[in-house]
A and B are shown apart, each in its own frame.
Chain A
Amino acid sequence: EVQLVQSGAEVKKPGESLKISCKSSGYSFTTYWIGWVRQMPGKGLEWMAMIYPGDSDTKYSPSFQGQVTISADKSISTAYLQWSSLKASDTAMYYCARRVGAAVINFDYWGQGTLVTVFS
């Protein structure tokens, strides 16, 4: 059974760093892209970035390029999304998801989401 399990909710202060995780199981981690999607409170979905764990190739949406960094550790089938300096506007639910097929945003399995709250 394919599963993506994300790390727990985080409460941080502006300026702090953060790294959240997404552990995959039930399939070959290195042969599927993993994407990250943001959902701000009461708002819609936004594609952020994706990584191919097989060779660590990455693609970023221009809106998030330079704002976040994605990475993956093949040895533990885990993808990461990190911030070096959080802002209040980073408060959101973040989902990881497995990409299938040719379309960039075609995610068949999703993590449960990680809620990130940033406030002073």
Chain B
Amino acid sequence: QSALTQPASVSGSPGQSITISCTGTSSDVGGYNFVSWYQQHPGTAPKLMIYDVTNRPSGVSHRFSGSKSGNTASLTISGLQAEDEADYYCSSYTTSSTLGVFGGGTKLTVL
């Protein structure tokens, strides 16, 4: 069981916006601005999309944005495109002995 809770799946139509949530506790998501988001297409390695809650690495589309409220972080994708269809994982620093933890992943389907 993952320490961070994500919805198993979300979907949207091209051009729409969707939001994926990542819920933790005050010991991880809520307590620190160390939330990252990764995109993984089938058969490929994950790709960093957002780090430190809101920051985009160079080369990542501005359509991807991150935010946090309390113990829940969110990834928003605007102007959905077919290529956005993938699995998305959040991660966070945690004060538990694991130091870091991933969410269970969310499958995004572009209708």
Contact = CB atoms under 8 A, between A and B. Distances in A.
Contacts of A102: 34, 52, 93
B104 A44 contact: yes
Interface stretch (B11-19, B41-49, B68-76, B78-86): B41-49
Nearest to B105: A44
Interface in A69-110: 95, 97, 100-108, 110
B45 A62 contact: no
B64 interface: no
Interface residues of A, number: 24
A59 B99 contact: yes
B102 A45 contact: yes
Report whether over half of chain B's contact residues are helix, strand or loop; otherwise say mixed: strand
A22 B104 CA distance: 25
B36 A46 contact: no
Interface in B91-111: 91-93, 97-105
Contacts of A111: 45
Given A44-B2, A62-B97, 13 more contacts: A45-B38, A47-B100, A102-B34, A102-B52, A103-B51, A103-B100, A104-B34, A104-B100, A105-B36, A105-B92, A105-B102, A110-B45, A110-B47
Interface of A: 37, 44-47, 59, 61-63, 95, 97, 100-108, 110-113
